[in-house]
Structure 1
Amino acid sequence: MTFKTRRAGISRRQLMVTAAGVTATGIVGLPGRAFAADPIKVAGIYTVPVEQQWVSRIHKAAEAAVGAGTADYVYTENTANTDYPRVMREYAEQGYGLIVGEIFGVEQEAREVVDEYPDTAFLLGSSFLQDEAHPNLAVFDNYIQDASYLSGIIAGAMTQSGNIGMVGGFPIPEVNRLMNAFMAGVREMKPDASFQVSFIGSWFDPPKAKETAFAMIDNGADLMYAERFGVSDAAQERGILAIGNVIDTQADYPETVVASALWHFEPTLNAALERVAAGDFKADNYGVYSFLKEGGCSLAPLGTFEGKVPEEAMALVAEREAAIKDGSFTVEIDDSEPKSA
């Protein structure tokens, strides 16, 4: 494991008073107005390097909060699932007011830890919704299906063969919903499109993702959906296009990555910090802050592909984006495992 610190410019005494307290109703939070101006002690616990797509968004938002003076931030990366509960306990014992991370591999164990520290607020990525039995645990996920759908429209306009390869980490809801939304967007422009779908069984194994992508390209795919690192490398080497996920990698693949569905964690984290500061943090679903209308996701600029995507597709993207924001169009949240078709 690797421990790192990102601190705001405050004193040791101020750090101590930012630990969370318990209200009379048992809901976790700070005493509110008395300490609203003090940075909240935030600890991040990640199972992968902070460079990994998904975790990098949390890390970036936390560092932005440090810059804004609303958080004092430390983190641990490359934490094995077997160590995760221990690290949670260590940070809780040290008085951190808000602990963020991802517990997809330790759902039950994490909830046991949460119950041991009712004075600590936990904001954790999870496959499950909030549970009032754990009042100090709020959950989130990257519900960026809106942006994934829009990127699919572009992909549908850019594929020539209609054969698209899709490489994911694990077939769990947070991956499935993005793939399904992307496929729905593709079909807006290419109703007869076919998809090759595979999962590599890892959140961070670029070589395996690359080899899986090569196999799909050999099987006729002329555009790849890069849910994992390594896929765009394969697309670049074979001279085909790719669509990115969560972060914008076009600068690294200027002739390959046409567009990306971006995740912005800032609205999620800022909402949690506000609740902790106000003293009313509680079990809740923070996934809604990832929606397009909340500013939690967006379609990356086309950059090098500006003017190269058919006008018809870009007109539909603009139309649907506006409709999603005003509520007249809703992208389906489909958590079922996508299949090759």
Structure 2
Amino acid sequence: MFHHKGTSAALSRRKVLKAGGALTATGLIGLPARLLAADPVSVAGIYTVPVEQQWVSRIHKAATAQQDAGAVTYTYSENTANTDYARVMREYAEGGAKLIVGEIFGVEDEAREVVGDYPEVAFLMGSSFMPDPAYPNLAVFDNYIQDASYLSGIIAGAMSQSGNIGMVGGFPIPEVNRLMNAFMAGVRETRADAKFQISFIGSWFDPPKAKETAFAMIDAGADVMYAERFGVSDAAQERGVLAVGNVIDTQADYPGTVVASALWHFEPTFDAALARVIDGSFAADNYGVYSQMKEGGCSLAPLGTFEGKVPEAAMALVAEREAAIKDGSFTVAIDDNEPTAG
């Protein structure tokens, strides 16, 4: 049984915010009633970008859903610089957090030093590395949503008139590369002669730079844009071309532009970790598997305004492949290599 001890004075000085109740769960696995009856688990989130950013928003949404359900108390820090990350981890651990969730891609070594100093705290961290028995209280995850990315590519290929696809990413690291490669594989299912323009902006959150990069690709003939970063869909909308979203569904913001999106659902990942914290079985493990389609960790967004506008043959292929992915008869390759243009 874990009891919330409250945040430390240091956290109060940092003006850590309680998550609001405005978000609701989608695809929430849920916890057994006996677990929900336990005292709320103190959960802390540490994010290097705003919680509105695509990737982090999925974690924030899942944690908020369990706070709304009464299973956790949730505090978080956003815009935490890598140079501050280890210090904030220590502050939350000292303040009584029982589960700390975040992303340590830029601070792998420093984060593991902290993890080793707080063996009673469970850490669920986005990481480029696999779990290590030397850090039994550190479980890792990543957004392995290549299944949904592949399906969105099938639609993109079918909707492109020119066969020229623009792709704007943050950094060419495995977490981005695998989604881009899966998307490109899907495009080639319906547009075998497709050509790709690829660029990385060197930031996780720089919408103006992403927008300018997308404009250049559209000027060079792209008529479908892969929007791995915020800003790309803005360019597509202004120039009257289509966009395919990543991680979140932004069609409501770009109703005539975003034709499809690969959605990440963090609830299966978060709920599995929370259940193990509560029952005392949390250990070093790879939670990346909970992002896969068969686990409910990703999906293709509804077509919305594009319902009936995507060629029937493409949608039939999407349905066929989605069923095969879920029953295990078709596997989307996990290719972490940097994608190549051309």
Does the 8 A contact of 1:126 with 1:140 survive in 2? Answer: yes
Q: Distance in 2 between matches of 1:159 and 1:6?
A: 40
- Hey, what does 1:324 align to over in structure 2? 325
| Correspondences of 1:8-47 after superposition (within 5 Å) | 37-47=38-48
Q: Distance in 2 between matches of 1:35 and 1:312?
A: 45
Q: Distance in 2 between matches of 1:239 and 1:147?
A: 25
| Correspondences of 1:144-293 after superposition (within 5 Å) | 144-293=145-294
- Hey, what does 2:25 align to over in structure 1? none
- Hey, what does 2:30 align to over in structure 1? none
Q: Distance in 2 between matches of 1:72 and 1:7?
A: 11
Amino acid at match of 1:189: T
Amino acid at match of 1:190: R
Cα shift at 1:331: 0.3
**Deviations, residues 61-95 of structure 1 (Å, cap 9, x unaligned):** 00001011111100000000000000000000011
Q: Distance in 2 between matches of 1:93 and 1:295?
A: 34
- Hey, what does 1:30 align to over in structure 2? none
Amino acid at match of 2:79: N
Q: Distance in 2 between matches of 1:5 and 1:83?
A: 20
Cα shift at 1:34: 9.8
- Hey, what does 2:107 align to over in structure 1? 106
Amino acid at match of 1:217: I
Does the 8 A contact of 1:35 with 1:277 survive in 2? Answer: no
Does the 8 A contact of 2:36 with 2:70 survive in 1? Answer: no
Q: Distance in 2 between matches of 1:182 and 1:322?
A: 18
TM-score (norm 1): 0.91
Does the 8 A contact of 2:35 with 2:278 survive in 1? Answer: no
- Superposed CA RMSD: 1.4
**Deviations, residues 30-80 of structure 1 (Å, cap 9, x unaligned):** xxx899611110000000000000000000000001011111100000000
Cα shift at 1:6: 3.4
- Hey, what does 1:3 align to over in structure 2? 16
Q: Distance in 1 between matches of 2:16 and 2:77?
A: 4
Instruction: Say which SS state the counterpart of residue 202 (structure 1) adopts.
Output: coil
Instruction: Say which SS state the counterpart of residue 157 (structure 1) adopts.
Output: helix
Segments of structure 1 that go 5 or more residues without pairing to the other structure are 9-32
- Hey, what does 1:79 align to over in structure 2? 80
- Hey, what does 1:311 align to over in structure 2? 312
Q: Distance in 2 between matches of 1:232 and 1:2?
A: 33
Q: Distance in 2 between matches of 1:243 and 1:35?
A: 38
**Deviations, residues 287-313 of structure 1 (Å, cap 9, x unaligned):** 000000100000000000000000000
Q: Distance in 2 between matches of 1:36 and 1:99?
A: 21
- Hey, what does 1:340 align to over in structure 2? 341
Amino acid at match of 1:162: G
Does the 8 A contact of 1:2 with 1:78 survive in 2? Answer: no
- Find runs of 4+ consecutive structure 1 residues off by over 4 angstroms: 33-36
Amino acid at match of 2:245: G
Assess, with a 3 A threshold, how the Cα gap between structure 1 residues 35 and 177 changes in structure 2: closer, same or farther: closer
**Deviations, residues 260-286 of structure 1 (Å, cap 9, x unaligned):** 000000000000000000101000000
Instruction: Say which SS state the counterpart of residue 198 (structure 2) adopts.
Output: strand
Identity of aligned residues (%): 81
Assess, with a 3 A threshold, how the Cα gap between structure 1 residues 7 and 226 changes in structure 2: closer, same or farther: closer
Instruction: Say which SS state the counterpart of residue 83 (structure 1) adopts.
Output: helix
Q: Distance in 1 between matches of 2:36 and 2:210?
A: 47
- Hey, what does 2:299 align to over in structure 1? 298
Assess, with a 3 A threshold, how the Cα gap between structure 1 residues 251 and 7 changes in structure 2: closer, same or farther: closer
Does the 8 A contact of 2:35 with 2:275 survive in 1? Answer: no
Amino acid at match of 2:322: E
Instruction: Say which SS state the counterpart of residue 114 (structure 1) adopts.
Output: helix
Does the 8 A contact of 2:90 with 2:114 survive in 1? Answer: yes
**Deviations, residues 223-271 of structure 1 (Å, cap 9, x unaligned):** 1000000000000000000000000000000000001000000000000
Segments of structure 2 that go 5 or more residues without pairing to the other structure are 1-13, 22-33
Q: Distance in 1 between matches of 2:172 and 2:340?
A: 10
**Deviations, residues 122-157 of structure 1 (Å, cap 9, x unaligned):** 000001111111100000000000000000000010
